[in-house]
């Protein structure tokens, strides 16, 4: 068992969830309640990482954030380190590929709030911010939790993108799924097996949680 | 909402905090060709015992590492299986000088227990099986970016077997993966590094035949300190050139260059 890799994956998962949830909530709210042209296009863009091969995402990240790109060059001149092959680069990649996993459950949960409930909130004199806090957030909580669990679990399992932009650096970009790949190549099947089993258990638990949340949300309606 | 903002800031801090410490001085980052997997692990264990420095090693294909180093990967020491990658990086001024030759690699035909293939140095049995259409899969490293893959291709070409073998080839991302394919029984065999075939993990899974050096261009393995190398990385570089390290490389099947 590569504990450094496990620790790194857990940290990557947590950072991704904490950064992505607020952003995704705003995006999900906009998509759920907004009436604007091009909504279908935005939804398609959000869903893109679900069907795009991870190597394609990784390739474009290398192109967009590599040393020779404007973003990559700006980051390097600011922090003295290139963005690719760093933990920060993995966080950025992770935020992008997890977008649908965070946004879609929240968007569904928000869209399921009956319009009259939101009207009632407004009639009662709640400001939009208060309505979010006292009505939308509590009602969308199962969706938010589902988004968090899926994002976390998916981050632990992400392989292709990390392989492309990470470079398997111990303690920096060698996540647990990359460590499994490395251990197999090192003929260390016991370690690979232990880590694979751990990811399997995490995936099962994550799905168990999301299913329970979905059932609970369904019962309340 | 306040909660969300606080949480965001917290996460940003976690992300930054781990970046604050320059880890490079304590644990030099090493990119090593995957044929070194077992030899380098042994050398580094001794190095750690002698110096207390714990290098962080990533194994992979030399071509991939060269590309990653050009793209800014933070490695400090690069042990390539092919000197051309090191010399190209040196030309682009990404290294400290041209580095040094540390080993010359050899190829073997590795055959797992239970495989119908017989290992022999001139690949005669493989040729016969290819001619009769019985041959199963043969694993090699990807010739496009793995030096051992290129050498395997050259060896097959020298023996006039390349065209016949091509439809049967299974490509590993690097030579260790090719060896893993060959040893797991998922292929009839593989043309892989001698240094891997000698490792206990492989030796107990099959037999092998050492291929004559003349069949391929020599695998001149060169290492080099990269631009950002710390003093700890430089110490490892020197350690790798010591008689003790050279002896370990020799035991793992590498030919030692005259230094």
Give one DSSP letter per residue of B2-55, joined into a string.
Answer: HHHHHHHHHHHHHHHHHHHS-GGGTS-EEEEEGGGHHHHHHHHHHHHHHH----
Stated pTM of the model: 0.84
Q: Please give the backbone phi and psi of residue B58, each rounded to the nearest 5 degrees, phi first.
A: -115, 130
- What is the number of CB-based contacts under 8 A between chain A and chain B? 97
Phi, psi of B64 (to 5 degrees): -65, -45
Find the CB nearest B56 among A76, A88, A170: A170
CB B207 within 8 A of CB B120: no
Mean pLDDT calculated for residue range A20-33: 95
Structure tokens belonging to residue B72? 């800014």
Q: pLDDT confidence of A219, banded at 50, 70, 90?
A: low
E strands, chain B, in order: 29-33, 56-60, 77-79, 100-105, 107-112, 138-141, 169-172, 189-193, 206-210, 219-225
Split at pLDDT 50, 70, 90, the class of B11 is: low
Q: Residues A111-157: pLDDT tens digits?
A: 999 989 888 988 888 888 898 899 999 999 999 999 999 999 999 99
Q: Do A84 and B8 touch (CB under 8 A)?
A: no
pLDDT higher than 90, residue B25: no
List of domains in chain A: 3-113+140-220 (1.10.3720.10)
Q: Do A171 and B27 touch (CB under 8 A)?
A: yes
DSSP secondary structure code for residue B255 in this structure: B
Identify the DSSP state of B254. P
What per-residue confidence (pLDDT) applies to A125? 86
- Cβ contact, residue pair A88, B7, below 8 Å: no
Mean pLDDT, chain A, integer: 91
Please name the residue of chain A whose CA is at the shortest distance from the CA of residue B73: A85
| Rounded Cα distance, A3 and B40, in Å | 21
A interface with B, Cβ–Cβ < 8 A, is 11, 14-15, 18-19, 21-22, 25, 62, 66-67, 72, 76, 79, 81-82, 84-88, 91, 129, 132-133, 167-172, 174, 182, 184-188
pLDDT at position A148 is 95
> What is the band of A84 on the pLDDT scale with cuts at 50, 70, 90?
confident
Integer angstrom CA distances of residue A159 from A177, B64, B71? 6, 17, 20
Closest Cα in chain B, distance from residue A161 (Å): 14
Range of weakest confidence among B11-25, B98-112, B130-144, B151-165:
B11-25
Selecting from A19, A79, A88 the residue whose C-beta is nearest the C-beta of B8 gives A19
| A89-102: average pLDDT | 95
What is the complex's ipTM, to 2 decimals? Answer: 0.80
Which stretches of chain B sit within 8 Å of chain A by CB? 1, 4-5, 7-8, 10-12, 14-15, 18-19, 23, 27, 29, 34, 37, 56-60, 68, 71-75, 174, 176-177, 179-180, 183, 199, 201-202
How does strand B29-33 pair with strand B77-79? parallel
pLDDT confidence band for B21 (50 / 70 / 90): very low
Q: Residue B13 and residue B5: Cα distance in Å, rounded? A: 12
Q: Would you place residue A215 in the very low, low, confident or very high pLDDT band (cuts 50, 70, 90)?
A: confident
Distance CA B178, CA B184 (A): 10
Q: Do A21 and B7 touch (CB under 8 A)?
A: yes
Euclidean distance between CA atoms A11 and A91, whole angstroms: 10
Nearest residue in A to B3, CA atom: A22
**Is the pLDDT assigned to residue A218 strictly greater than 80?**
no
pLDDT band at residue B253 under the 50/70/90 scheme: very high
pLDDT of B59 above 50 = yes
* Contact yes or no for B179/B196 (Cβ under 8 A): yes
Q: Is the pLDDT of residue B76 over 60?
A: yes
pLDDT higher than threshold 50 for residue B17: no
Domains of chain B: 2-104+220-251 (3.40.190.10), 106-215 (3.40.190.10)
A91: closest chain B residue by CA = B15
Instruction: Inform me whether the pLDDT recorded for B19 exceeds 80.
Output: no
Share of chain A above pLDDT 70, in %: 98
Segment A160-166 shows an average pLDDT of 89
Residue A184 neighbours by CB distance under 10 Å: 18
Q: Which residues of B touch A170 (CB under 8 A)?
A: 27, 29, 56-58
Q: Lowest mean pLDDT: which of A25-29, A77-81, A108-112, B6-10?
A: B6-10
Task: Bin A38: left if φ > 0, else alpha if -120 < ψ < 50, else beta.
Answer: left
Least confident segment among A117-131, B6-20, B24-38, B218-232: B6-20
Tokens 């694979």 -> residue: A196
């Amino acid at each position: 068992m590569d504990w450094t890799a496990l620790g790194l994956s857990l940290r990557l998962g947590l950072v991704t969830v904490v950064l992505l949830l607020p952003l995704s909530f705003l995006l999900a709210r906009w998509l759920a309640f907004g009436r604007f042209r091009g909504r279908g296009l935005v939804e398609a863009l959000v869903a893109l990482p679900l069907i795009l091969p991870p190597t394609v995402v990784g390739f474009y990240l290398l192109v967009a954030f590599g040393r020779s790109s404007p973003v990559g060059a700006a980051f390097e001149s600011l922090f003295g380190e290139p963005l690719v092959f760093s933990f920060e680069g993995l966080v950025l990649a992770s935020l992008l590929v997890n977008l649908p996993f965070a946004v879609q459950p929240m968007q569904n949960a928000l869209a399921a709030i009956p319009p009259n409930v939101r009207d009632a909130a407004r009639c009662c004199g709640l400001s939009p911010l208060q309505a979010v806090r006292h009505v939308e957030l509590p009602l969308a909580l199962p969706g938010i939790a589902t988004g968090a669990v899926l994002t976390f679990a998916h981050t632990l399992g992400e392989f292709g993108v990390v392989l492309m932009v990470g470079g398997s650096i111990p303690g920096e970009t060698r996540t647990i799924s990359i460590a499994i790949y490395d251990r197999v190549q090192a003929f260390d099947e016991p370690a690979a097996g232990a880590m694979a089993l751990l990811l399997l258990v995490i995936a099962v638990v994550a799905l168990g949680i999301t299913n329970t949340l979905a059932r609970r949300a369904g019962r309340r309606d | 909402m306040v909660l969300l903002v606080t949480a965001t800031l917290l996460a940003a801090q976690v992300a930054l905090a781990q970046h604050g410490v320059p880890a490079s001085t304590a644990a030099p980052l090493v990119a090593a060709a995957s044929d070194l997997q077992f030899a380098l692990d042994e050398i580094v264990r001794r190095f750690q015992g002698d110096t207390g420095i714990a290098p962080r090693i990533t194994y992979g294909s030399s071509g991939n590492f060269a590309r990653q180093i050009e793209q800014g990967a933070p490695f400090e020491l690069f042990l390539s299986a092919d000197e051309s990658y090191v010399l190209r990086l040196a030309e682009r001024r990404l290294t400290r000088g041209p580095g040094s030759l540390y080993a010359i690699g050899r190829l073997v035909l590795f055959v797992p227990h239970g495989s119908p293939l017989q290992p022999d140095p001139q690949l005669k049995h493989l040729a016969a099986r290819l001619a009769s259409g019985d041959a199963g899969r043969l694993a090699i490293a990807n010739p496009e970016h793995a030096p051992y893959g290129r050498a395997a291709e050259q060896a097959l070409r020298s023996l006039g077997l390349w065209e016949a073998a091509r439809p049967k080839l299974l490509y590993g991302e690097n030579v260790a993966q090719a060896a893993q394919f060959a040893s797991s029984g998922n292929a009839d065999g593989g043309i892989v590094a001698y240094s891997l075939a000698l490792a206990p993990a492989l030796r107990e899974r099959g037999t092998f035949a050492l291929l004559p050096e003349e069949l391929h261009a020599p695998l001149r393995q060169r290492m080099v300190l990269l631009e950002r190398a710390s003093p700890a990385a430089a110490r490892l570089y020197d350690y790798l050139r010591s008689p003790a390290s050279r002896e370990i490389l020799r035991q793992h099947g590498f030919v030692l260059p005259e230094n």
